[in-house]
Structure 1
Amino acid sequence: MNELWNIIVAVILGLVEGLTEFAPVSSTGHMIIVDDLLLKSKEIFRPEVANTFKVVIQLGSILAVVILFKDRFLNILGLKKEINGVRKKGHRLSLVQIIIGLLPAGILGVLFEDYIDEHLFTIHTVVYALIVGAILMIVADFVQRRRKNAAIDTVDKITNTQAFLIGLFQCIALWPGFSRSGSTISGGVLLGLSHRTAADFTFIMAVPIMAGASFISLLKNWQYITMDTMPFFIAGFISAFVFAIISIRFFLKLIDKIKLLPFAIYRIVLAVIIILVFL
């Protein structure tokens, strides 16, 4: 019975990770509610095992992005000339632009990793991040509605400067609860990208930085992946992968239609729930 419950916990946590990691709603905020309030995985497993598990399920979400954007990644690497049947000629999104976008958050993440882990992973800071992030998303939608020029409708038109500035917005996501997608999509929209284009660039840019951070963390905690914990990790990984596929496809179909406002409202509601339950 305990083994079955462990698998159920893994699947639920994988579901939460998959549905929220790439939506602009903060996977951290949801993990606080679902894990700490309902499932308490750290009471089932040692904290080190529970933390390693969260790294494993994040890799499941990353794999979903790689699968969904495989043609784009192959094109960036020069291994494929066509995306969805369209031959990419002239300017196209390059590996250099992705690196430019990654540099700001990558540098700050390394410099302030210990400070972030010690001081920003609290319920209070997550609540503040949810609310401030919601305000940024509302502002981005407002600016986009008042803009007279047509929005940039493909990542192939993103300039090096825009890639760098979006990377600066990604730095805000080092604040747990702010949401990587929320910060970078909002930044992209403020810089003249369509919501869909900003989302595409966000997902593409997220893969190397999230994969790198996850693999480093996994190497540090490899000893906690044992035969006893393996079923738990596998169930969570598969769950996160499947639900991330569903979430990303659904999100990309809707984002240009519904914009960021509904997600901003949802974030505020989530912040209120956390305040009422935890504070």
Structure 2
Amino acid sequence: MEIMIAIILGIVEGLTEFLPVSSTGHLILTGYWLDFTGERAKTFEIVIQLGSILAVVVMYRKRFVALVSPNKASGLTLSHLILGMIPAVIAGFLLHGFIKSYLFSPYTVVVGLVVGGVLMILADFKKRTPVTSTLDELTLKQAFSIGLFQCLALWPGFSRSGATISGGVLLGTNHKTAAEFSFILAVPMMVAASGYDLLKSYQFLSLADLPVFATGFLAAFFVALFAIVTFIKFIERVRLIPFAIYRFMLALFVWMVLF
């Protein structure tokens, strides 16, 4: 039964991690319905998130190799990633205990889904021609400002990709560039966050958990590979509003069922 739960949660994680619908919110809600909660479940969620991150590294491996090149002086650089990380790293470190203790609940997820959806609609209705059409045109100021938007994702249900993509569009990038920067920025952010969480949660792991955790990790990895490719093609055509509508419908459904 736990293997099936691992597969289901791995699929949910892989599908939602890079879509602007909140993977954390979906995992909280799915775990609640599957009765898979508690510290062990939270540690499991950290592990499968790393599966999704590995999918980004595989998909954008050439870009990551270029980022660490000693001769990299123009285009997207490590400076962009560092500036994009700073706001959320500081906010996450200061608020980590509060977030874990008080914000991981179905109610807070509903709030995050609705407010994040409103931000996405505002971004899509913004009347301004994008001035940044590729990752290599992204400025350091834009990278840091997108990092400020990323802080909104510390609220479960808001969505890290939803916050950063909306922020990028509001700051003058096209949807594809905002999405790709969101994916790449997710790697150092989530490795740092997941590593910190694992250090605090490793006592909840045992060798007996390995099959369940490995199953969830692999499910998240392979599903995320598919989701990344599909989402990039999709967002260029339909943008963010369909995802905002989905968030509103999900929030209404959860509210009706749980409250």
CA pair 80-234 structure 1, distance change in 2 beyond 3 A: farther
Aligned ranges for residues 62-211 of structure 1 at < 5 Å?
A: 62-78=53-69, 91-143=74-126, 146-147=127-128, 149-211=129-191
CA contact (8 A) 1:71 1:80 kept: no
Cα deviation for residue 57 of structure 1 reads: 0.4
Cα deviation for residue 80 of structure 1 reads: 9.1
Q: Which of the pair has more CA radius of gyration? A: 1
| 26-35 or 156-165, larger mean C-alpha shift | 26-35
Counterparts of 2:111 and 2:19 in 1: how far apart (Å)?
18
Cα deviation for residue 116 of structure 1 reads: 1.5
Counterparts of 2:20 and 2:86 in 1: how far apart (Å)?
21
CA pair 6-101 structure 1, distance change in 2 beyond 3 A: same
Counterparts of 2:26 and 2:240 in 1: how far apart (Å)?
18
Segments of 5+ residues of structure 2 without an aligned counterpart are none
CA pair 201-17 structure 1, distance change in 2 beyond 3 A: same
Amino acid at match of 1:187: G
Cα deviation for residue 58 of structure 1 reads: 0.6
Segments of 5+ residues of structure 1 without an aligned counterpart are 82-89
CA contact (8 A) 2:92 2:154 kept: yes
With normalisation by structure 2, the TM-score equals: 0.96
Cα deviation for residue 54 of structure 1 reads: 0.8
Counterparts of 2:28 and 2:104 in 1: how far apart (Å)?
10
1:32-74 superposed Cα distances (whole Å, 9 cap, x missing partner): 332211x1123xxxx2222211111011011011111111111
Counterparts of 1:163 and 1:12 in 2: how far apart (Å)?
34
Between the two proteins, the alignment pairs up a number of residues equal to 259
CA contact (8 A) 1:100 1:167 kept: yes
Counterparts of 2:169 and 2:92 in 1: how far apart (Å)?
24
Cα deviation for residue 151 of structure 1 reads: 3.9
Alignment RMSD (CA, Å):
1.5
CA pair 6-79 structure 1, distance change in 2 beyond 3 A: farther
Counterparts of 2:115 and 2:130 in 1: how far apart (Å)?
27
With normalisation by structure 1, the TM-score equals: 0.89
Identity %: 51
Query: Which residue of structure 1 lines up, in the alignment, with residue 30 of structure 2?
Result: 34
Match of 1:226 among 199, 206, 209: 206
